[in-house]
Chain A
Amino acid sequence: MNNTEKKKSRDMASFREIGLLLFIVLISIIIEVRNPSYLTVENFMDLLTNTSILGILAVGMMMILLTGGIDLSIGAVVALSGMTASIAVSKVPSLNPIICILIGCGVGLAAGVINGFFVAKCKILPIIATLGMMNVFRGLTYIVSGGKWVSAYQMSDNFKAIGTTKVLGINILIIMAIVIFVIFYYFINFTRTGRYIYAVGSNPVSAEITGINKTKVLWLTYSLMGIISGFAGVLWVSKFASAQGDTASGYEMNVIAACVLGGVSVSGGNGKVSGLLLGTLLLGILNNALPLINVSTFWQNFIQGAVILFAIIMNAMVKRRADQANLRRRKI
């Protein structure tokens, strides 16, 4: 492949990232003009803190999308694990926060393993399996909570500190998100299992017959999503100092939106961490900024849906244009 062609294909990939970056800048300008309290350190820290949980969940979702699957149950798992951890701490106030986190992760892991079982072993379509389990986990959340909320006064200070402590002035959630992104980057690019996740999404048929254990990879992916959701669940209820039956209801849309905005393909095999980072940021900005310019929360669903639709259509158009350009380049 000669140098011009190499350059062109690299340009296509970074085209999206530059586009996202530009869009972030553009939107920020517009918002700042409408509401100057946007570009303040305080608001930005707030924005980043809120986006951290989104980012952590997006890492898990990206892995699932890479395999060509989807997980609609993460909101419910976040709720279930958060609720479980909250109830534990409300009954045993002296519970060490690390244990709380482990409880949440444990619940999440169990959920992920079950999802993985249905998708990987029973070969049920991911959308069906996770749609079904979403209801099961949500129902369990209500049952576990007895229909009651766990509120701030029932949570120990240590527990609430999980989501709110600052390290060097920066909220710990931001630091956790950064650490998780770094680990994820290494995992998905420098370990065999990470690459196999791409492979399974790229050519599931081949993965079945060659050396990759497709079942194991899929199961692992959903289990990891489970642990991540569980972890995020504890962070969530700690940060908001409240655990409810409908916590994070519908949040999976947000996460999926962040991923597709970041260029992760829904058919599997494609997606970069840099894109994911930018997509998450952009969505975080949207979520933060819209209330600032007086957009009511009742618009949230619509905006999320529109963003997802817009992003996937954009992805499709970009690819079509690239293919057309390739065709035109052929001298007949």
Chain B
Amino acid sequence: METRKIEGTKTFNARSFFFQWEWLLIALFIIINIFNSGISPYYLQLDTFTDAPMSFLDKAFMVMPMAFVLLLGEIDISVGSTVALSSVLMAISYNAGLPMSLAIVLCLLVGTACGLINGLLLAKFKELPSMIVTLATMTIYRGIALIILKDQASGGFPKWFNFLGWGYVGPIPLMMIMFIIFAVAFGILLHKTSFGRQLYGMGNNLKACQYSGIKTSRNKILVYTMLGLMAGVTAVFLTSRMGSTRPNVASGYELEVIAMAVLGGFSTSGGKGNMVGAIIAAFVIGFLRYGLGLINVSSQVILIVVGLLLIGSVLAANFKPGGKKKSAQKGT
């Protein structure tokens, strides 16, 4: 019998390349900047583009691993609380005598631990939805921070610590450099390694991955732990910028981070999304907020805007070409 010839190389399809979501996000970014420059005549300077990101880059560190979580079809709303707890523990341990560098390490460890706990709980109790488990841990982590620091503040960090959040390396802020490094790392992890392929598989059909020998529990734990670690990173930069910390910091962070990831194309049903999109979306939302800050919008109104942004991102993602994924074979 003659063997049928099958096409084996992918040809470049111009139409599908240019119809991608990421171009839309770039367009959105440009529109926002046009809008912002209309508000302030000094807007269009290089300074702006290195200063503005400082206002949102701290939480942007969490966007990449949150994208992983969404890719799996899960969610994590405890990240804000993790940031708070890590920050609080860093502050009091430093003030109790621990050297600052070790306090920073502690901060990262606490964040990692919080993420690890989430991951272990979800892996051990597969029947529990991530929504409710992370809701519980969100309350618990914030609760621990409140027990420790009550309504006090803690700070008094050494000068060099402030450099982390405020410092520049040449013309570029340190935070920006760190962010780029992490963004590229996560991007490569997602798009160029087998780990990333496994995550996409899990998001599209968890059962099929299990039957193909993919270590799904291990991957899930890893993803949540990564998110916890990056929450620790956020805590370091956030605390550095604020100079001190309280138990109620980073409240609402989960909202913005999820909004950034969803707007970036990571649908809440899982299985799709591109890291480039998430990063552009982070900048879109970040610059939008920055622009609102320029016209002195009150923090309460910003609350409203961010809330609407989150919902808007999901709606937009549902209507993009290719639309809402018809039926992600969720499996359990």
Residues of A at under 8 Å CB distance from B?
Answer: 70, 72, 118, 122-125, 127-129, 131-136, 138-140, 142-143, 147, 245, 250, 253, 256, 260, 266-267, 296, 298-306, 308-309, 312-313, 316, 319
A309 engages B129 (CB within 8 Å)? no
CB pair B258 A143 closer than 8 Å: no
B241 within 8 A of A: no
A residues within 8 A CB of B258?
128, 131
Is B2's CB within 8 Å of the partner chain A?
A: no
What's the Cα separation between A245 and B303 when bound, in Å? Answer: 13
Query: Which of B45-53, B59-67, B95-103, B306-314 binds A?
Result: B306-314
A266 with B132: CB separation less than 8 A: yes
The reply to whether B300 and A124 contact each other, CB–CB distance below 8 Å, is no
**A70–B131 CB distance below 8 A:** yes
Contacts of A125 in B (CB 8 A): 75, 268, 314
Contact check, B307 vs A136: say whether CB atoms are below 8 A apart: yes
Q: Which of B151, B301, B308, B314 contacts A128 (CB 8 A)?
A: B314
For B301, list chain A residues within 8 Å (CB): 139, 143
Q: Is the CB–CB distance between B139 and A301 below 8 Å?
A: yes
- A131 near B255 with CB under 8 A, answer yes
**Alpha-carbon distance A316/B146, docked complex (angstroms):** 29
CB distance from A293 to the nearest CB of B (A): 16
Chain B, 294-327, CB within 8 A of any chain A CB? 298, 300-304, 306-311, 314-315, 318, 324
List of B residues within 8 angstroms of A123 by Cβ: 318, 324
**Binary flags per residue of B230-267, CB closer than 8 Å to A gives 1, else 0:** 00000000000000000000001011001100100000
In the bound complex, CA of A306 to CA of B268 (Å): 27
A178 to B147, CA, bound (A): 35
B interface with A by C-beta (< 8 Å): 75, 77, 121, 125, 127-129, 131-133, 135-144, 146-147, 150-151, 252, 254-255, 258-259, 262, 268, 298, 300-304, 306-311, 314-315, 318, 324
A-B contact count (CB 8 A): 139
Of the listed residues A260, A296, A308, the one surrounded by the most CB atoms of chain B closer than 10 A to its CB is A308
B146–A301 CB distance below 8 A = yes
A303 to chain B: which residues have CB within 8 Å? 143
Contact at A139–B304, with CB atoms within 8 Å? yes
Which of A118, A135, A266, A296 is B128 in contact with, Cβ under 8 Å? A266
Q: Is A267 within 8 A of B129, CB to CB?
A: yes
Q: A133-B311, A139-B300, A266-B132 are in contact. Are A128 and B139 (CB under 8 A)?
A: no
A308–B134 Cα distance when bound, in Å, is: 11
Q: Are A70 and B132 in contact (CB under 8 A)?
A: yes
CB distance from A133 to the nearest CB of B (A): 6
Shortest 7 CB-CB distances between A and B: which pairs?
Answer: A302-B143, A305-B139, A135-B307, A301-B143, A305-B140, A139-B304, A142-B300
Q: Is the CB of A122 within 8 A of B132?
A: no
CB < 8 Å neighbour of B308 from A136, A142, A245, A299: A136
Given A131-B310, A316-B125, A140 contacting B304 (CB threshold 8 A): yes
Within the complex, what minimum Cβ distance (angstroms) separates B124 from chain A?
9
CB-nearest residue of chain B to A308: B136
User: Known contacts being A70-B131, A122-B318, A256-B135, is A302 close to B144, with CB within 8 Å?
Assistant: yes
Whether B77 lies near A127 (C-beta < 8 A) is yes
- B144 to A, closest residue via Cβ: A302
A residues less than 8 Å from B128 (CB atoms): 266, 312-313, 316
Residues of chain B contacted by A135 (CB below 8 angstroms): 252, 255, 303-304, 306-307
* 6 chain-A/chain-B pairs, Cβ below 8 angstroms: A70-B135, A123-B318, A136-B308, A245-B300, A306-B140, A313-B128
Q: How long is the Cα–Cα vector from A118 to B137 in the complex, in angstroms?
A: 26
**CB-based contact A302/B146 at 8 Å:** yes
Residues of B within 8 A of A132 (CB): 255, 259, 306-311
| B143, B147, B262: residue with the most chain A Cβ atoms closer than 10 Å | B143
Q: Quote the shortest CB–CB distance from A260 to chain B (angstroms).
A: 8
Across the two chains, which residue of chain A brings its CB closest to B269?
A: A125
